[in-house]
Amino acid sequence: MRMDSDINYIIQESLKGDKIYAEILLKRLNPLIFKNIYTRYSPSDPFIQDLQQEGYIMVLQSLKDFDPGRNVHFLQYIKVRLTYFYKNYFSKSTKDKTLSLDDLREAGKEIISEGMDQVTSVLIKEEKEALHRCIDELTEKEQMILKLFYFKELSIQEISETLNMKYRSVINTKSYALNKLRRKMSKFQFQ
């Protein structure tokens, strides 16, 4: 295997389906991915790792979709795709907040103020109860990871050490648990 650091060679091998070079390419594209993320999200946002994984998925999909016959360099192609991907992702996430970090942080706190009318109070209470029911349906490990990450505000590394789990397993479990919560919460129609 040729371990050439030339980006063009890495791209060509990745386009041929070489998984090792695709992984190298993902690491080389990290600055571009984070540049796009940081234009819309704070570096301290807990969603950064999820957004990075979404970017990786976009790059891997782009390797499949890329048409060399269009006379566009892959780096230019991926730069445009990532820019619009994160722009659309941000736009969608601000319109559709079925489950947000604030929902998780505030789930156990009282959020009803004096000025809210009775209907709004009932809807908020039902939404909180639904969130608690959905969290209860997660596995014990998923609940623990979300609790440590969102409520105790431990880093992925700290959770990995606390639970004696591999770092990657913690990330995957957290992402899977959040996706399960989103699916479960989307069944509830709050107006």
Q: pTM of the prediction?
A: 0.45
- Domain spans, the chain: 7-95, 101-186
Q: Does domain 7-95 have CATH number 1.10.1740?
A: yes
Rounded CA-CA distance 67/52 in Å is 24
- Looking at domain 101-186, which CATH architecture does it have? Orthogonal Bundle (1.10)
List the chain pLDDT tens, one digit each, 191 residues. 444 458 888 888 888 888 898 898 888 888 888 888 888 777 777 778 888 888 888 888 888 888 888 777 888 888 888 888 888 877 765 555 455 555 555 544 444 344 444 555 556 677 777 777 888 888 999 989 988 988 888 899 999 999 999 999 999 999 998 888 888 877 754 43
